[in-house]
Structure 1
Amino acid sequence: MEYLDFEMPIKELEDQLAKCFDIGKESEVDVTETCKKIEEKLKKAKKDIYKNLTAWQRVQLSRHPNRPYTLDYIKALCGDTFMELHGDRSVKDDKAMIGGLGKIGDQSFMFIGQQKGYNTKTRQYRNFGMANPEGYRKALRLMRMAEKFGIPVVTFVDTPGAYPGLEAEERGQGEAIARNIFEMTYLKTPIITVIIGEGASGGALGIGVGDRVYMLENSWYSVISPENCSSILWRSWSEKERAAEALKLTAEDGLKLKIVDGIIKEPIGGAHSDREGAFKAVQKQILEAYKELKDLNEEDLVAQRMDKFSNMGVYKE
Protein backbone atom coordinates (compact mmCIF):
# COMPACT_ATOMS: atom_id res chain seq x y z
CA MET A 1 0.00 0.00 0.00
CA GLU A 2 1.37 3.40 -0.99
CA TYR A 3 0.64 6.51 1.07
CA LEU A 4 0.51 10.16 0.03
CA ASP A 5 2.14 12.84 2.19
CA PHE A 6 -1.09 13.85 3.92
CA GLU A 7 -1.90 10.19 4.64
CA MET A 8 1.19 9.59 6.81
CA PRO A 9 -0.74 9.89 10.15
CA ILE A 10 -2.95 7.04 8.88
CA LYS A 11 0.12 4.97 7.98
CA GLU A 12 1.57 5.45 11.48
CA LEU A 13 -1.64 4.30 13.15
CA GLU A 14 -1.99 1.31 10.80
CA ASP A 15 1.61 0.32 11.58
CA GLN A 16 0.86 0.59 15.31
CA LEU A 17 -2.24 -1.57 14.88
CA ALA A 18 -0.29 -4.22 12.95
CA LYS A 19 2.39 -4.32 15.67
CA CYS A 20 -0.29 -4.61 18.33
CA PHE A 21 -1.82 -7.63 16.57
CA ASP A 22 1.64 -9.20 16.19
CA ILE A 23 2.36 -8.81 19.91
CA GLY A 24 -0.94 -10.49 20.72
CA LYS A 25 -0.12 -13.43 18.45
CA GLU A 26 3.47 -13.88 19.64
CA SER A 27 2.78 -13.59 23.37
CA GLU A 28 0.11 -14.34 25.94
CA VAL A 29 -0.53 -10.64 26.58
CA ASP A 30 -4.14 -9.54 26.03
CA VAL A 31 -3.93 -6.60 23.59
CA THR A 32 -7.63 -6.48 22.70
CA GLU A 33 -8.32 -3.21 24.49
CA THR A 34 -5.20 -1.53 23.11
CA CYS A 35 -6.07 -2.60 19.56
CA LYS A 36 -9.60 -1.24 19.94
CA LYS A 37 -8.24 2.14 21.05
CA ILE A 38 -5.88 2.28 18.07
CA GLU A 39 -8.73 1.31 15.71
CA GLU A 40 -10.88 4.12 17.11
CA LYS A 41 -8.02 6.59 16.61
CA LEU A 42 -7.55 5.28 13.06
CA LYS A 43 -11.25 5.75 12.18
CA LYS A 44 -11.21 9.29 13.59
CA ALA A 45 -7.99 10.16 11.73
CA LYS A 46 -9.43 8.93 8.42
CA LYS A 47 -12.65 10.92 8.88
CA ASP A 48 -10.76 14.08 9.83
CA ILE A 49 -8.27 13.82 6.94
CA TYR A 50 -10.62 12.84 4.12
CA LYS A 51 -13.45 15.24 4.95
CA ASN A 52 -11.12 18.26 4.76
CA LEU A 53 -9.14 17.56 1.60
CA THR A 54 -7.82 20.46 -0.46
CA ALA A 55 -8.24 20.59 -4.25
CA TRP A 56 -4.60 19.57 -4.72
CA GLN A 57 -4.95 16.62 -2.36
CA ARG A 58 -7.92 15.38 -4.39
CA VAL A 59 -5.79 15.68 -7.54
CA GLN A 60 -3.17 13.52 -5.82
CA LEU A 61 -5.80 10.92 -4.88
CA SER A 62 -7.10 10.85 -8.46
CA ARG A 63 -3.60 9.81 -9.56
CA HIS A 64 -2.99 7.25 -6.82
CA PRO A 65 -1.15 4.27 -8.38
CA ASN A 66 -3.55 1.80 -6.73
CA ARG A 67 -6.68 3.58 -7.92
CA PRO A 68 -8.92 1.43 -10.17
CA TYR A 69 -8.86 2.24 -13.88
CA THR A 70 -11.41 1.83 -16.66
CA LEU A 71 -10.87 -1.90 -17.26
CA ASP A 72 -11.13 -2.55 -13.51
CA TYR A 73 -14.58 -0.94 -13.45
CA ILE A 74 -15.71 -2.72 -16.61
CA LYS A 75 -14.59 -6.15 -15.38
CA ALA A 76 -16.23 -5.55 -11.98
CA LEU A 77 -19.50 -4.39 -13.58
CA CYS A 78 -19.69 -6.91 -16.43
CA GLY A 79 -17.68 -9.92 -15.35
CA ASP A 80 -17.14 -12.33 -18.25
CA THR A 81 -19.76 -10.65 -20.46
CA PHE A 82 -17.39 -7.89 -21.65
CA MET A 83 -16.14 -8.23 -25.22
CA GLU A 84 -13.50 -5.68 -26.22
CA LEU A 85 -13.66 -4.25 -29.74
CA HIS A 86 -10.57 -2.92 -31.52
CA GLY A 87 -9.44 -0.46 -34.15
CA ASP A 88 -10.66 2.71 -35.83
CA ARG A 89 -10.76 1.05 -39.32
CA SER A 90 -8.29 3.62 -40.58
CA VAL A 91 -4.92 3.75 -38.79
CA LYS A 92 -4.59 1.28 -35.89
CA ASP A 93 -5.92 0.16 -32.53
CA ASP A 94 -5.12 2.80 -29.88
CA LYS A 95 -4.31 1.03 -26.59
CA ALA A 96 -4.96 4.19 -24.56
CA MET A 97 -8.66 4.10 -25.53
CA ILE A 98 -10.55 0.88 -24.90
CA GLY A 99 -14.13 -0.05 -25.69
CA GLY A 100 -16.52 -2.90 -26.12
CA LEU A 101 -19.85 -4.49 -25.30
CA GLY A 102 -20.82 -5.75 -21.87
CA LYS A 103 -23.80 -6.39 -19.64
CA ILE A 104 -24.82 -5.15 -16.21
CA GLY A 105 -27.43 -7.69 -15.24
CA ASP A 106 -29.61 -8.17 -18.32
CA GLN A 107 -28.91 -4.75 -19.84
CA SER A 108 -26.27 -4.36 -22.55
CA PHE A 109 -24.02 -1.28 -22.64
CA MET A 110 -21.26 -0.02 -24.91
CA PHE A 111 -18.35 0.79 -22.58
CA ILE A 112 -15.67 3.26 -23.70
CA GLY A 113 -12.85 4.82 -21.70
CA GLN A 114 -9.22 5.79 -21.37
CA GLN A 115 -6.98 3.14 -19.84
CA LYS A 116 -3.77 3.80 -17.89
CA GLY A 117 -1.05 1.31 -17.00
CA TYR A 118 -0.04 -0.21 -13.66
CA ASN A 119 3.74 -0.25 -14.10
CA THR A 120 6.39 1.16 -16.41
CA LYS A 121 5.78 -1.41 -19.15
CA THR A 122 1.98 -1.12 -19.21
CA ARG A 123 2.09 2.66 -18.86
CA GLN A 124 4.14 2.85 -22.04
CA TYR A 125 1.83 0.31 -23.70
CA ARG A 126 -1.22 2.43 -22.77
CA ASN A 127 0.60 5.70 -23.54
CA PHE A 128 -0.18 6.91 -20.00
CA GLY A 129 -3.89 7.09 -20.84
CA MET A 130 -3.32 9.74 -23.54
CA ALA A 131 -5.21 8.77 -26.69
CA ASN A 132 -4.16 9.53 -30.26
CA PRO A 133 -6.70 10.61 -32.93
CA GLU A 134 -7.32 6.96 -33.82
CA GLY A 135 -8.40 6.38 -30.22
CA TYR A 136 -11.12 9.02 -30.47
CA ARG A 137 -12.12 7.71 -33.90
CA LYS A 138 -12.39 4.20 -32.47
CA ALA A 139 -14.57 5.58 -29.68
CA LEU A 140 -16.81 7.29 -32.23
CA ARG A 141 -17.05 4.10 -34.32
CA LEU A 142 -18.25 2.20 -31.25
CA MET A 143 -20.75 4.94 -30.34
CA ARG A 144 -22.25 4.82 -33.84
CA MET A 145 -22.48 1.04 -33.55
CA ALA A 146 -24.29 1.42 -30.22
CA GLU A 147 -26.68 3.93 -31.78
CA LYS A 148 -27.41 1.56 -34.68
CA PHE A 149 -28.45 -1.25 -32.33
CA GLY A 150 -30.11 0.93 -29.67
CA ILE A 151 -27.50 0.21 -26.99
CA PRO A 152 -26.77 2.86 -24.29
CA VAL A 153 -23.21 4.17 -24.03
CA VAL A 154 -21.16 4.43 -20.83
CA THR A 155 -17.89 6.39 -20.97
CA PHE A 156 -15.19 6.37 -18.28
CA VAL A 157 -12.96 9.45 -18.31
CA ASP A 158 -9.45 9.14 -16.88
CA THR A 159 -6.77 11.00 -18.82
CA PRO A 160 -4.12 13.69 -18.26
CA GLY A 161 -5.05 14.92 -21.76
CA ALA A 162 -5.05 13.85 -25.39
CA TYR A 163 -1.61 12.86 -26.68
CA PRO A 164 0.20 16.08 -27.76
CA GLY A 165 2.80 14.49 -30.05
CA LEU A 166 3.66 15.69 -33.54
CA GLU A 167 2.29 12.51 -35.15
CA ALA A 168 -1.03 12.96 -33.34
CA GLU A 169 -1.35 16.52 -34.61
CA GLU A 170 -0.46 15.41 -38.15
CA ARG A 171 -3.25 12.82 -38.03
CA GLY A 172 -5.79 15.42 -36.86
CA GLN A 173 -6.02 15.31 -33.08
CA GLY A 174 -8.06 18.50 -32.84
CA GLU A 175 -10.45 17.43 -35.60
CA ALA A 176 -10.97 14.00 -34.04
CA ILE A 177 -11.92 15.46 -30.66
CA ALA A 178 -14.13 18.14 -32.22
CA ARG A 179 -15.85 15.51 -34.38
CA ASN A 180 -16.57 13.38 -31.30
CA ILE A 181 -18.07 16.33 -29.43
CA PHE A 182 -20.27 17.16 -32.42
CA GLU A 183 -21.36 13.56 -33.05
CA MET A 184 -22.00 12.80 -29.38
CA THR A 185 -24.31 15.80 -29.16
CA TYR A 186 -26.61 14.23 -31.76
CA LEU A 187 -26.18 10.56 -30.83
CA LYS A 188 -29.63 8.94 -30.62
CA THR A 189 -28.93 6.68 -27.66
CA PRO A 190 -28.39 7.47 -23.95
CA ILE A 191 -24.84 8.47 -22.94
CA ILE A 192 -23.71 8.18 -19.31
CA THR A 193 -20.30 9.61 -18.46
CA VAL A 194 -18.32 8.91 -15.28
CA ILE A 195 -15.09 10.77 -14.50
CA ILE A 196 -13.19 8.19 -12.47
CA GLY A 197 -9.81 9.93 -12.14
CA GLU A 198 -8.30 12.73 -14.19
CA GLY A 199 -10.53 14.68 -16.56
CA ALA A 200 -8.15 16.98 -18.37
CA SER A 201 -8.86 19.27 -21.30
CA GLY A 202 -10.10 18.12 -24.70
CA GLY A 203 -8.83 14.63 -23.95
CA ALA A 204 -11.71 14.29 -21.50
CA LEU A 205 -14.28 16.14 -23.62
CA GLY A 206 -13.66 13.80 -26.56
CA ILE A 207 -15.73 11.14 -24.77
CA GLY A 208 -17.40 13.39 -22.18
CA VAL A 209 -20.58 14.71 -23.82
CA GLY A 210 -23.15 12.76 -21.81
CA ASP A 211 -26.84 13.00 -20.95
CA ARG A 212 -25.67 12.42 -17.38
CA VAL A 213 -22.15 13.29 -16.28
CA TYR A 214 -20.91 12.16 -12.87
CA MET A 215 -17.65 12.63 -11.00
CA LEU A 216 -16.17 10.33 -8.43
CA GLU A 217 -15.58 12.24 -5.20
CA ASN A 218 -11.79 12.34 -5.61
CA SER A 219 -11.61 12.97 -9.35
CA TRP A 220 -11.00 16.28 -11.12
CA TYR A 221 -12.26 17.93 -14.30
CA SER A 222 -10.64 21.00 -15.84
CA VAL A 223 -9.35 22.63 -18.99
CA ILE A 224 -5.76 22.17 -17.79
CA SER A 225 -3.81 20.36 -15.07
CA PRO A 226 -2.70 22.35 -11.98
CA GLU A 227 0.98 21.87 -12.84
CA ASN A 228 0.63 23.18 -16.39
CA CYS A 229 -1.55 26.06 -15.22
CA SER A 230 1.10 26.96 -12.64
CA SER A 231 3.89 26.79 -15.23
CA ILE A 232 2.00 29.18 -17.53
CA LEU A 233 0.87 31.72 -14.93
CA TRP A 234 3.79 31.60 -12.48
CA ARG A 235 6.55 30.13 -14.70
CA SER A 236 6.98 27.33 -12.18
CA TRP A 237 5.24 24.17 -10.94
CA SER A 238 5.67 25.37 -7.35
CA GLU A 239 2.25 27.10 -7.39
CA LYS A 240 0.32 23.95 -8.38
CA GLU A 241 -1.67 23.94 -5.14
CA ARG A 242 -2.73 27.54 -5.68
CA ALA A 243 -3.61 26.73 -9.30
CA ALA A 244 -5.71 23.73 -8.22
CA GLU A 245 -7.81 25.94 -5.97
CA ALA A 246 -8.22 28.62 -8.66
CA LEU A 247 -9.24 26.15 -11.39
CA LYS A 248 -12.32 24.96 -9.46
CA LEU A 249 -11.66 21.42 -10.63
CA THR A 250 -13.10 19.29 -7.83
CA ALA A 251 -16.36 17.35 -7.96
CA GLU A 252 -18.00 19.82 -5.57
CA ASP A 253 -16.96 22.72 -7.80
CA GLY A 254 -18.26 20.91 -10.89
CA LEU A 255 -21.63 20.35 -9.26
CA LYS A 256 -21.90 24.00 -8.15
CA LEU A 257 -20.99 25.21 -11.64
CA LYS A 258 -23.52 22.73 -13.13
CA ILE A 259 -21.01 21.07 -15.44
CA VAL A 260 -21.70 17.69 -13.82
CA ASP A 261 -24.97 16.16 -12.68
CA GLY A 262 -23.83 14.43 -9.53
CA ILE A 263 -21.03 13.23 -7.29
CA ILE A 264 -20.42 9.54 -6.66
CA LYS A 265 -19.23 9.14 -3.07
CA GLU A 266 -16.08 7.09 -2.61
CA PRO A 267 -15.34 4.86 0.38
CA ILE A 268 -13.41 6.64 3.14
CA GLY A 269 -9.79 6.69 2.03
CA GLY A 270 -10.58 6.84 -1.68
CA ALA A 271 -11.56 4.31 -4.34
CA HIS A 272 -8.17 2.56 -4.05
CA SER A 273 -8.76 1.72 -0.37
CA ASP A 274 -12.03 -0.14 -1.04
CA ARG A 275 -12.35 -1.08 -4.69
CA GLU A 276 -15.49 -3.16 -4.25
CA GLY A 277 -17.24 -0.25 -2.56
CA ALA A 278 -16.28 2.06 -5.43
CA PHE A 279 -17.45 -0.46 -8.07
CA LYS A 280 -20.84 -0.85 -6.38
CA ALA A 281 -21.32 2.93 -6.10
CA VAL A 282 -20.54 3.43 -9.81
CA GLN A 283 -22.79 0.56 -10.89
CA LYS A 284 -25.68 1.92 -8.82
CA GLN A 285 -25.30 5.39 -10.37
CA ILE A 286 -25.12 4.04 -13.93
CA LEU A 287 -28.28 1.98 -13.49
CA GLU A 288 -30.14 4.89 -11.88
CA ALA A 289 -29.14 7.20 -14.73
CA TYR A 290 -30.18 4.67 -17.36
CA LYS A 291 -33.55 4.25 -15.66
CA GLU A 292 -34.09 8.02 -16.02
CA LEU A 293 -33.09 8.05 -19.70
CA LYS A 294 -34.35 4.79 -21.21
CA ASP A 295 -37.95 5.90 -21.82
CA LEU A 296 -37.09 9.18 -23.57
CA ASN A 297 -37.66 9.18 -27.32
CA GLU A 298 -34.71 10.04 -29.58
CA GLU A 299 -35.80 13.63 -30.26
CA ASP A 300 -36.27 14.49 -26.58
CA LEU A 301 -33.00 12.77 -25.64
CA VAL A 302 -30.96 14.82 -28.13
CA ALA A 303 -32.84 18.07 -27.33
CA GLN A 304 -32.21 17.69 -23.59
CA ARG A 305 -28.53 16.93 -24.17
CA MET A 306 -28.10 19.99 -26.39
CA ASP A 307 -29.89 22.23 -23.88
CA LYS A 308 -27.77 20.85 -21.04
CA PHE A 309 -24.48 21.85 -22.67
CA SER A 310 -25.80 25.05 -24.28
CA ASN A 311 -26.76 26.39 -20.85
CA MET A 312 -23.27 26.00 -19.39
CA GLY A 313 -21.09 29.03 -18.78
CA VAL A 314 -21.68 32.77 -18.95
CA TYR A 315 -21.94 34.57 -22.25
CA LYS A 316 -23.43 37.63 -23.97
CA GLU A 317 -25.07 37.78 -27.37
Structure 2
Amino acid sequence: MARPSLNDLAAFAAVARHRSFRKAADDLGVSRSALSHAIIGLEAKLGVRLLNRTTRSVSPTQAGADLLKRLDPVLRDLDYALDTLSEVRGRPGGILRINANKSGARILLREVVPRFLAECPEVELDLVSEGQLVDIVEQGFDAGVRLLEAIPQDMVAVRLDGGTRFIAVAAPAYLRDRGRPQSPQDLLAHVCIRQRLPSGKRYRWEFSKRGSEVALDVPGALTLDDNDLLAEAAAAGHGIAYVPEHFAQPFLGDGRLCTILEDWCPQIDGLALYYPRNRHMPSALRAFVNTVKTVRPGT
Protein backbone atom coordinates (compact mmCIF):
# COMPACT_ATOMS: atom_id res chain seq x y z
CA MET A 1 0.00 0.00 0.00
CA ALA A 2 1.41 3.41 -1.00
CA ARG A 3 1.94 5.74 1.92
CA PRO A 4 -0.36 8.80 1.68
CA SER A 5 1.07 12.29 1.91
CA LEU A 6 0.77 14.37 5.06
CA ASN A 7 -1.21 16.99 3.11
CA ASP A 8 -3.80 14.39 2.10
CA LEU A 9 -4.14 13.17 5.69
CA ALA A 10 -4.52 16.74 6.95
CA ALA A 11 -7.13 17.36 4.25
CA PHE A 12 -9.11 14.31 5.37
CA ALA A 13 -8.90 15.40 9.02
CA ALA A 14 -10.24 18.86 8.14
CA VAL A 15 -13.22 17.45 6.19
CA ALA A 16 -14.00 14.90 8.91
CA ARG A 17 -13.81 17.55 11.64
CA HIS A 18 -15.93 20.14 9.82
CA ARG A 19 -18.21 17.52 8.23
CA SER A 20 -18.21 19.83 5.24
CA PHE A 21 -16.06 20.09 2.12
CA ARG A 22 -16.83 23.81 1.85
CA LYS A 23 -15.75 24.68 5.38
CA ALA A 24 -12.69 22.44 5.18
CA ALA A 25 -11.68 23.99 1.83
CA ASP A 26 -12.04 27.48 3.32
CA ASP A 27 -9.98 26.39 6.33
CA LEU A 28 -7.20 24.94 4.17
CA GLY A 29 -7.27 27.66 1.54
CA VAL A 30 -7.94 25.30 -1.38
CA SER A 31 -10.82 24.77 -3.81
CA ARG A 32 -13.56 22.27 -3.03
CA SER A 33 -12.80 20.34 -6.22
CA ALA A 34 -9.11 20.02 -5.30
CA LEU A 35 -10.07 18.86 -1.83
CA SER A 36 -12.53 16.31 -3.21
CA HIS A 37 -9.88 14.91 -5.58
CA ALA A 38 -7.41 14.65 -2.68
CA ILE A 39 -9.88 12.63 -0.60
CA ILE A 40 -10.76 10.35 -3.51
CA GLY A 41 -7.05 9.74 -4.07
CA LEU A 42 -6.47 9.07 -0.38
CA GLU A 43 -9.30 6.52 -0.25
CA ALA A 44 -7.90 4.83 -3.37
CA LYS A 45 -4.43 4.58 -1.81
CA LEU A 46 -5.76 3.17 1.45
CA GLY A 47 -8.30 0.92 -0.24
CA VAL A 48 -11.11 1.92 2.13
CA ARG A 49 -13.90 4.51 2.16
CA LEU A 50 -13.25 7.16 4.79
CA LEU A 51 -16.25 9.46 4.32
CA ASN A 52 -19.95 8.98 3.69
CA ARG A 53 -21.11 11.65 1.25
CA THR A 54 -24.60 12.77 0.32
CA THR A 55 -25.74 15.92 -1.44
CA ARG A 56 -26.41 17.50 1.97
CA SER A 57 -23.93 16.04 4.43
CA VAL A 58 -20.52 14.50 5.00
CA SER A 59 -19.65 12.16 7.86
CA PRO A 60 -16.78 9.77 8.64
CA THR A 61 -17.29 6.06 8.12
CA GLN A 62 -16.25 3.83 11.00
CA ALA A 63 -12.84 3.44 9.35
CA GLY A 64 -12.65 7.21 8.89
CA ALA A 65 -13.58 7.87 12.52
CA ASP A 66 -10.90 5.41 13.69
CA LEU A 67 -8.29 7.06 11.46
CA LEU A 68 -9.25 10.56 12.64
CA LYS A 69 -8.96 9.50 16.28
CA ARG A 70 -5.37 8.37 15.66
CA LEU A 71 -4.48 11.25 13.35
CA ASP A 72 -5.52 14.09 15.66
CA PRO A 73 -2.72 13.63 18.24
CA VAL A 74 -0.17 13.14 15.44
CA LEU A 75 -1.18 16.38 13.73
CA ARG A 76 -1.21 18.21 17.08
CA ASP A 77 2.31 16.95 17.83
CA LEU A 78 3.44 18.14 14.41
CA ASP A 79 1.93 21.58 15.01
CA TYR A 80 3.68 21.66 18.39
CA ALA A 81 7.03 20.72 16.81
CA LEU A 82 6.70 23.44 14.17
CA ASP A 83 5.57 25.97 16.75
CA THR A 84 8.72 25.40 18.82
CA LEU A 85 10.68 26.72 15.83
CA SER A 86 8.77 29.99 16.15
CA GLU A 87 9.74 30.16 19.81
CA VAL A 88 13.40 29.51 18.94
CA ARG A 89 13.25 32.32 16.35
CA GLY A 90 11.55 34.52 18.91
CA ARG A 91 8.84 35.47 16.41
CA PRO A 92 5.38 33.84 16.41
CA GLY A 93 4.19 32.57 13.04
CA GLY A 94 1.57 30.40 11.41
CA ILE A 95 -2.21 30.69 11.40
CA LEU A 96 -4.20 31.77 14.48
CA ARG A 97 -7.91 30.86 14.24
CA ILE A 98 -10.42 32.58 16.53
CA ASN A 99 -14.20 32.08 16.60
CA ALA A 100 -16.18 35.11 17.82
CA ASN A 101 -19.61 36.69 17.67
CA LYS A 102 -19.98 40.08 15.98
CA SER A 103 -19.65 42.02 19.23
CA GLY A 104 -16.46 40.21 20.17
CA ALA A 105 -15.01 40.60 16.67
CA ARG A 106 -15.67 44.34 16.82
CA ILE A 107 -13.87 44.70 20.15
CA LEU A 108 -10.88 42.76 18.84
CA LEU A 109 -10.75 44.65 15.53
CA ARG A 110 -11.02 48.03 17.22
CA GLU A 111 -8.16 47.70 19.69
CA VAL A 112 -6.41 44.32 19.82
CA VAL A 113 -5.93 43.20 16.21
CA PRO A 114 -4.09 46.30 14.87
CA ARG A 115 -1.47 46.11 17.61
CA PHE A 116 -1.14 42.33 17.39
CA LEU A 117 -0.61 42.29 13.62
CA ALA A 118 1.92 45.11 13.89
CA GLU A 119 3.90 43.22 16.53
CA CYS A 120 3.51 39.75 14.94
CA PRO A 121 3.69 40.29 11.16
CA GLU A 122 4.38 36.60 10.46
CA VAL A 123 1.05 35.47 11.96
CA GLU A 124 -2.01 35.04 9.73
CA LEU A 125 -5.11 35.82 11.82
CA ASP A 126 -8.32 34.03 10.78
CA LEU A 127 -11.21 35.64 12.69
CA VAL A 128 -14.51 33.81 12.09
CA SER A 129 -17.69 35.61 13.18
CA GLU A 130 -20.49 33.25 12.15
CA GLY A 131 -22.23 33.84 15.48
CA GLN A 132 -22.57 30.15 16.29
CA LEU A 133 -21.46 28.72 19.62
CA VAL A 134 -19.12 25.94 18.57
CA ASP A 135 -16.76 23.50 20.24
CA ILE A 136 -13.55 25.38 19.42
CA VAL A 137 -11.37 22.30 19.93
CA GLU A 138 -13.51 20.08 17.72
CA GLN A 139 -13.78 22.76 15.02
CA GLY A 140 -10.04 23.45 14.97
CA PHE A 141 -10.02 26.94 16.51
CA ASP A 142 -7.23 28.11 18.80
CA ALA A 143 -9.54 30.36 20.81
CA GLY A 144 -13.06 31.74 20.94
CA VAL A 145 -15.06 34.70 22.24
CA ARG A 146 -18.38 34.45 24.07
CA LEU A 147 -20.16 35.71 27.20
CA LEU A 148 -18.10 34.90 30.29
CA GLU A 149 -20.99 33.04 31.95
CA ALA A 150 -21.22 30.63 28.98
CA ILE A 151 -17.54 29.61 28.86
CA PRO A 152 -16.93 25.95 29.84
CA GLN A 153 -15.09 25.35 33.13
CA ASP A 154 -12.16 23.60 31.45
CA MET A 155 -11.24 26.76 29.52
CA VAL A 156 -9.05 29.73 30.44
CA ALA A 157 -10.94 33.03 30.11
CA VAL A 158 -9.53 36.52 29.56
CA ARG A 159 -12.03 39.38 29.87
CA LEU A 160 -12.52 41.65 26.87
CA ASP A 161 -14.88 44.19 28.44
CA GLY A 162 -16.14 45.27 31.82
CA GLY A 163 -19.64 43.89 31.38
CA THR A 164 -22.75 44.40 29.32
CA ARG A 165 -26.49 44.78 29.69
CA PHE A 166 -29.44 43.55 27.65
CA ILE A 167 -32.14 46.22 27.47
CA ALA A 168 -35.72 46.37 26.23
CA VAL A 169 -36.28 49.24 23.78
CA ALA A 170 -39.09 50.66 21.69
CA ALA A 171 -39.78 53.71 19.51
CA PRO A 172 -41.49 56.67 21.25
CA ALA A 173 -44.42 56.46 18.79
CA TYR A 174 -44.98 52.78 19.65
CA LEU A 175 -45.08 53.57 23.38
CA ARG A 176 -47.52 56.43 22.82
CA ASP A 177 -49.86 54.12 20.94
CA ARG A 178 -49.52 50.96 23.04
CA GLY A 179 -48.47 52.21 26.48
CA ARG A 180 -45.30 51.51 28.48
CA PRO A 181 -44.88 48.04 30.05
CA GLN A 182 -44.36 48.18 33.82
CA SER A 183 -43.25 44.57 34.33
CA PRO A 184 -41.85 41.78 32.14
CA GLN A 185 -45.25 40.03 32.20
CA ASP A 186 -46.80 43.11 30.54
CA LEU A 187 -44.77 42.25 27.42
CA LEU A 188 -47.17 39.37 26.76
CA ALA A 189 -49.79 41.97 25.74
CA HIS A 190 -47.39 43.83 23.42
CA VAL A 191 -45.87 43.39 19.96
CA CYS A 192 -42.30 42.15 20.37
CA ILE A 193 -39.56 41.58 17.83
CA ARG A 194 -38.30 38.12 18.58
CA GLN A 195 -34.77 36.83 18.04
CA ARG A 196 -33.71 33.52 16.52
CA LEU A 197 -30.43 32.12 17.83
CA PRO A 198 -27.82 30.49 15.56
CA SER A 199 -29.01 27.12 16.88
CA GLY A 200 -32.40 27.81 15.32
CA LYS A 201 -34.19 28.26 18.65
CA ARG A 202 -35.95 31.48 19.58
CA TYR A 203 -34.35 33.45 22.41
CA ARG A 204 -36.38 33.65 25.62
CA TRP A 205 -36.08 37.15 27.07
CA GLU A 206 -34.48 36.96 30.52
CA PHE A 207 -35.04 39.61 33.19
CA SER A 208 -33.81 39.92 36.76
CA LYS A 209 -34.66 42.23 39.67
CA ARG A 210 -33.51 41.84 43.29
CA GLY A 211 -33.19 38.07 43.01
CA SER A 212 -36.42 37.58 41.07
CA GLU A 213 -35.85 36.12 37.60
CA VAL A 214 -38.28 35.97 34.69
CA ALA A 215 -37.82 34.25 31.28
CA LEU A 216 -40.45 34.88 28.60
CA ASP A 217 -41.18 33.56 25.12
CA VAL A 218 -42.60 36.91 24.02
CA PRO A 219 -45.29 37.27 21.33
CA GLY A 220 -44.63 38.88 17.97
CA ALA A 221 -45.03 38.40 14.22
CA LEU A 222 -41.45 39.42 13.31
CA THR A 223 -38.39 37.32 14.13
CA LEU A 224 -34.81 38.39 13.27
CA ASP A 225 -31.39 36.85 13.84
CA ASP A 226 -29.17 39.95 14.08
CA ASN A 227 -28.93 42.50 16.92
CA ASP A 228 -28.29 45.43 14.56
CA LEU A 229 -31.47 44.58 12.66
CA LEU A 230 -33.43 44.14 15.89
CA ALA A 231 -32.49 47.65 17.03
CA GLU A 232 -33.29 49.11 13.60
CA ALA A 233 -36.67 47.37 13.49
CA ALA A 234 -37.58 48.69 16.93
CA ALA A 235 -36.53 52.22 15.90
CA ALA A 236 -38.79 51.87 12.86
CA GLY A 237 -41.75 51.21 15.17
CA HIS A 238 -42.21 47.49 14.55
CA GLY A 239 -42.37 46.65 18.27
CA ILE A 240 -40.24 46.11 21.37
CA ALA A 241 -36.77 44.61 21.00
CA TYR A 242 -34.38 43.17 23.58
CA VAL A 243 -30.73 43.72 22.63
CA PRO A 244 -27.28 44.31 24.12
CA GLU A 245 -27.14 47.99 25.07
CA HIS A 246 -24.40 49.04 22.64
CA PHE A 247 -26.51 47.94 19.65
CA ALA A 248 -29.28 50.32 20.71
CA GLN A 249 -27.02 53.21 21.76
CA PRO A 250 -27.02 55.13 18.43
CA PHE A 251 -30.83 55.11 18.37
CA LEU A 252 -31.09 56.04 22.06
CA GLY A 253 -28.72 58.93 21.47
CA ASP A 254 -30.86 60.55 18.78
CA GLY A 255 -34.20 59.77 20.44
CA ARG A 256 -35.42 57.13 18.01
CA LEU A 257 -35.54 54.54 20.82
CA CYS A 258 -36.51 54.65 24.49
CA THR A 259 -35.57 52.13 27.17
CA ILE A 260 -38.27 50.32 29.15
CA LEU A 261 -38.15 48.03 32.21
CA GLU A 262 -34.72 49.44 33.11
CA ASP A 263 -34.82 48.13 36.68
CA TRP A 264 -35.32 44.62 35.25
CA CYS A 265 -32.18 44.86 33.07
CA PRO A 266 -29.11 44.51 35.34
CA GLN A 267 -25.47 44.47 34.29
CA ILE A 268 -24.08 41.02 33.48
CA ASP A 269 -20.60 39.64 32.86
CA GLY A 270 -19.37 40.65 29.42
CA LEU A 271 -17.36 38.96 26.72
CA ALA A 272 -14.13 37.04 27.19
CA LEU A 273 -11.52 35.40 25.02
CA TYR A 274 -11.16 31.73 25.96
CA TYR A 275 -8.90 28.81 25.06
CA PRO A 276 -8.24 25.23 26.26
CA ARG A 277 -6.54 24.91 29.64
CA ASN A 278 -4.75 21.59 29.21
CA ARG A 279 -3.29 21.87 25.71
CA HIS A 280 -0.05 23.21 24.32
CA MET A 281 -0.49 26.96 23.82
CA PRO A 282 0.76 28.02 20.37
CA SER A 283 3.19 30.94 20.42
CA ALA A 284 0.81 32.98 18.24
CA LEU A 285 -2.04 32.50 20.74
CA ARG A 286 0.24 33.36 23.65
CA ALA A 287 1.23 36.59 21.90
CA PHE A 288 -2.43 37.39 21.16
CA VAL A 289 -3.48 36.85 24.79
CA ASN A 290 -0.61 39.08 25.94
CA THR A 291 -1.80 41.77 23.54
CA VAL A 292 -5.34 41.52 24.94
CA LYS A 293 -4.01 41.93 28.48
CA THR A 294 -1.84 44.88 27.45
CA VAL A 295 -4.51 46.71 25.48
CA ARG A 296 -7.37 46.06 27.92
CA PRO A 297 -5.76 45.84 31.38
CA GLY A 298 -8.05 45.34 34.35
CA THR A 299 -11.18 44.50 32.31
- State the TM-score, normalized to the length of structure 1: 0.25
Which structure has more strand as a fraction of its residues? Answer: 2
Which structure has more helix as a fraction of its residues? Answer: 1
- State the TM-score, normalized to the length of structure 2: 0.26
Question: Relative contact order (C-alpha < 8 Å, sep 6+): which is higher?
Answer: 2
